[in-house]
Amino acid sequence: MSVRGKSQTRSRFRRPSAIPGFPLAFGYTLTYLGLIVLIPLGALVLRASSLGMMGLSGVISDERVLSALRISFGLSFAAALLNAIFGLVVAWVLVRYDFPGRKLVHAAVDLPFALPTAVAGIALAALYAPNGWIGQPLAAWGIKAAYTPLGIFIALVFVGLPFAVRTVEPLIVEIDREIEEVSATLGATRAQTLWRVVLPPLTPAILTGFALAFARAVGEYGSVIFIAGNIPYVSEIAPILIVIRLEEFNYAGATGIAVVMLAISFATLLVINLIQSWSRRRFGYV
Amino acid sequence: MPAAIKAIGLGVASLAFMIAGTMLGPRPAVAQTSFLNVSYDPTRELYRAINQKFEEETRPQGKKINIRMSHGGSGSQARAVIDGLDADVVTLALAADIDEIARRTNRIPSDWQKRLPNNSAPYTSTIVFLVRKGNPKGIRDWDDLIKPGIQVITPNPKTSGGARWNYLAAYAYGVERRGGDQQAQAFVAQIFKNAPVLDTGARGSTNTFARRGIGDVLLAWENEAFLALDELGADKFEIVVPSISILAEPPVTLVDGNVDRKGTRAIAQAYLEFLYSPTAQAVIAKHYYRPMKPDAAAPQDVARFPDIKLVTIDQFFGGWDEAQRKHFADGGIFDAILKSNR
């Protein structure tokens, strides 16, 4: 097993390197991040701050906001979980097996990236509506998909899939197959090989895929509104509530919900990062 | 850390250089008069036709006019203008949205609605029902919408101007036929209880009803209902006219602050007045909007509009300002209805 994690001195601002251009590259990074990420987020927090602490707690304690947040984060979590599991399977199949049409499947995985989300939403709604190709047989079973929380879940799984697949794929490519053979010759069962040899090095990547799919799903608007039904307390996601606040010209209320979402997302991503660094320490992989 | 400061300086300088480069590129010469009409969603076809007529009429005077259009949900269009969209004229779904522009910017005077005839509404419309062919559920009037098992399709009044008219029409019926505000509120609550989907805009609802096959009745703008018959087939749907509905007045006005800065006041004013001309009134009727001057329109176009008892927002709800505050504001009656329907 090769040792990949090089020890780095973290405390130093600038690492001597043979490659020139560090000041320029670093300057770009800071300026770019500032313009694209930090300034807009700062403006968001500034706008919400006109609410004050009282206003913000009013936003959070509103029952409808709470139920929308529950729906958004709950379904995003479930969708990301499903994607993490099946994304791993898809990535594994794409890397390990050769089959006719493999390249097509490979390209298809990226489609949710490329498709405008509104188009995806309309297509999914058409498919899963009671008169659609998939909705019709489902309706015969008594399952309503479109215009229910299940519809939201389907849309979120759709938009999150590429994240889950594409983050684990490069790591599966790197796995040394001999390790699995060694594991087998040493008497491990298939399940043991899977759990103790194959999965541990993949764990950080699976978590990253989960986090990306989750973050994407939480903010998703375009594809969801067409299939959700948007009934308050039932199938209303938090981003729609933000749009509703904007339609009321209630900018502070809208940014209030946005800041709460941002805080929850940030906390979730932080926890995922902690688990990740723990798993790195535990398994010794980068 | 001087290295860091130097690095940031370099980054900023080179980015600024790139931005400057893109801005110094060749620019088209501004020779012709162009102005922007910011409108709501279902008026696409109407204004395409009207703009063409307007350009034809002004051509002999040696003017070349380029009218740009922007369409979208009425509320978000108003917000765009508030946030700085360069509209010369706004033609929105309801007066409340223009009121909001007037209140939040000083680009429109607060008495804007008195500047043009008919409350600044060159055309009106109303709310009707669209049902499936043969009317299998026997829907005749508002009362039928609250029957158990009936599915009503309407957009969300919070996000759609058209849906606000839907809501107010139902409310007016409730007050007229059921005795008062309290009964009306309960009546509207029952209608929304029968709504399985709340789309964000009028076109979205039309799609849900017509293409997805959801619901028994669609509450729609009269012009949208006619358009649906045209485009999706008169053999699939029919229009049902309720006993009471609301007179929807989509108003138009100049954005004074913008036209004065751009020097387009004369042409924009002429454009708005053109909307009241016989030529435009005929186009309006042809596109299923009710013309303010029916005499100017083709008789067969006017004959398509059924007689309905129409209440107006001014006499029934005390104007848009009041209606907006009472019904659609955060914590208003509509929010209370949604809460009670849980």
More confident residue, B18 or A137: A137
Between positions 30 and 69 of B, the ones with CB within 8 A of A are: none
- What pLDDT, on the 0 to 100 scale, is given for residue A12? 55
Q: Does B329 touch chain A (CB under 8 A)?
A: yes
- Please tell me the predicted confidence (pLDDT) of residue A1: 40
Facing B196 at nearest CB: one of A132, A229, A246: A229
Is B178 part of any domain? yes
Contacting residues of A for B216, CB less than 8 Å apart: none
Mean pLDDT of B200-217: 89
Give me the number of domains chain B comprises.
Answer: 2
Tell me the percentage of chain B whose pLDDT exceeds 90: 69
Asked if B324 and B255 sit in the same domain, the reply is no
Give the structural domain span for B157: 127-246+312-340
> Which tokens belong to B119?
């409350």
ipTM of the complex in this document: 0.73
Asked if B323 contacts B161 with a C-beta cutoff of 8 angstroms, the reply is: no
Question: Where are chain A's structural domains?
Answer: 66-237
Flag whether pLDDT at B228 surpasses 70.
yes
Looking at B191-328, which runs of residues are DSSP E strands?
198-199, 217-221, 237-240, 244-246, 252-254, 290-291, 309-311
Judge if B222 and B336 occupy the same domain: yes
- Residues 6 or more apart whose Cβ sits within 8 Å of residue B50: B274, B275, B280, B283, B284
Mean pLDDT of B46-71: 89
In whole angstroms, what is the distance from residue A280 CA to residue A198 CA?
A: 15
Confidence tier at A48 by pLDDT (50, 70, 90)? confident
pLDDT (0 to 100) of residue A100: 92
CATH of the domain at B241: 3.40.190.10
B chain contacts of residue A230, beta-carbon cutoff 8 Å: 156, 197-200
- For position B87, what pLDDT does the model report? 95
Same domain for B335 and B298: no
Average pLDDT of chain B? Answer: 89
Q: How confident is the model at residue B3 (pLDDT cuts 50, 70, 90)?
A: low
Residue B11: inside a domain: no
Q: What pLDDT shows up at residue A14?
A: 60
Q: Write the residue in B3, B9, B197 that is nearest to A13 by C-beta.
A: B3
Which pair of tokens denotes residue A222? 């375009």
Three-class secondary structure of residue B128 per DSSP = strand
Q: What does the pLDDT look like over A242-253, one tens digit per residue?
A: 988 888 888 888
pLDDT tens per residue, range B180-192: 899 999 999 999 9
The answer on B231 and B108 residing in a single domain is no
Nearest chain B residue to A253 by CA: give it: B330
Q: Which CATH architecture has domain A66-237?
A: Orthogonal Bundle (1.10)
Q: Is residue B140 part of a domain?
A: yes
Instruction: Output the pLDDT for position A25.
Output: 85
Question: Closest Cα of chain B to A129: distance in Å?
Answer: 6
Whether the per-residue pLDDT at A6 is higher than 50: the answer is no
- When CB atoms are compared, the residue of A13, A22, A244 closest to B159 is A244
Do B240 and B283 fall into the same domain? no
| Cross-chain residue pair A147–B342, CB shorter than 8 Å | no
Any CB–CB contact under 8 A between B7 and chain A? Answer: yes
Tell me if B49 is assigned to some domain.
Answer: yes
Rounded Cα distance between B31 and B315, Å, is 47
Question: Does A232 sit within 8 Å of B338, measured CB to CB?
Answer: yes
* A19-23, A235-239, B169-173, B271-275: range with lowest mean pLDDT: A19-23
Q: Is the confidence at residue B27, as pLDDT, over 80? A: no
Is residue A233's pLDDT more than 50? Answer: yes
Round the CA-based radius of gyration of chain B to a whole number and report it. Answer: 23
pLDDT score recorded for residue B155: 92
Residue B7 lies in a domain: no
Residue of chain A minimizing CA distance to B213: A131
Residue B17 lies in a domain: no
Q: Looking at beta carbons, which residues of chain A come within 8 Å of B81? A: none
d(CA B260, CA B270): 14
- Please tell me whether residues B208 and B138 are part of one structural domain: yes
The answer to whether residues A130 and A123 touch, using CB atoms and an 8 Å cutoff, is no
pLDDT of residue A43: 87
Pick the residue from chain B with its C-alpha nearest to A254: B330
* Shortest Cα distance, chain A CAs vs residue B117, angstroms: 28
pLDDT digits (tens, 9 = 90+) for B88-131: 999 999 999 999 999 999 899 999 999 999 999 999 999 999 99
The answer on B231 and B324 residing in a single domain is: yes
Enumerate the residues of chain B whose CB falls inside 8 A of the CB of residue A32.
Answer: 11, 15
Among B195, B212, B330, beta carbon nearest to A129: B212
Amino acid, single-letter form, for residue B292? M
Q: Closest residue of B to A63, CA-based?
A: B339
Q: Interhelix angle for A251-283 vs A52-61, to 10°?
A: 80
Q: Is the model's pLDDT at A60 over the cut of 90?
A: no
Q: Is residue B231 part of a domain?
A: yes
Range scoring the smallest mean pLDDT among A148-162, B196-210, B237-251: B196-210
Segment B136-152, tens digit of pLDDT? 999 999 999 999 999 99
pLDDT of B4 over the 80 cut? no
User: What does the pLDDT average to over A17-31?
Assistant: 81
Grade residue B219 by pLDDT with cuts at 50, 70 and 90. Answer: very high
B239 and B322 inside one domain: yes
Distance CA A47, CA B83 (A): 14
Identify which has the larger pLDDT, B326 or A176. B326
Mean pLDDT of B225-250: 91
Choose from A8-17, A208-217, B6-15 the range with maximum mean pLDDT.
A208-217
Least CB-CB distance to A247: which of B9, B75, B342?
A: B75
Asked if pLDDT for residue A13 goes beyond 80, the answer is no
Same domain, B132 and B235: yes
Residues of B in contact with A133 (CB under 8 A): none
> Where does chain A have alpha helices with state H?
22-33, 39-49, 52-61, 63-96, 102-109, 111-114, 117-128, 135-140, 149-174, 177-185, 190-192, 199-219, 222-228, 238-247, 251-283
Residue A53, min C-alpha distance to chain B (Å) = 19
Residues of A with CB under 8 A from a CB of B: 13-14, 22-24, 26-32, 35, 63-64, 122, 125-126, 129-132, 146-147, 225-226, 229-233, 240, 243-250, 253
CB contact under 8 A, B214 and A240: no
- Supply the pLDDT for residue A18: 67
Q: How many interchain CB pairs under 8 A, A with B?
A: 108
| pLDDT tens digit sequence for A85-133 | 999 999 999 999 999 989 899 899 998 888 899 899 999 999 999 889 9
In chain A, which residues have their Cβ closer than 8 Å to the Cβ of B73?
A: 247
Phi-psi region of B70 (alpha: psi -120 to 50; beta: other; left: phi over 0): beta
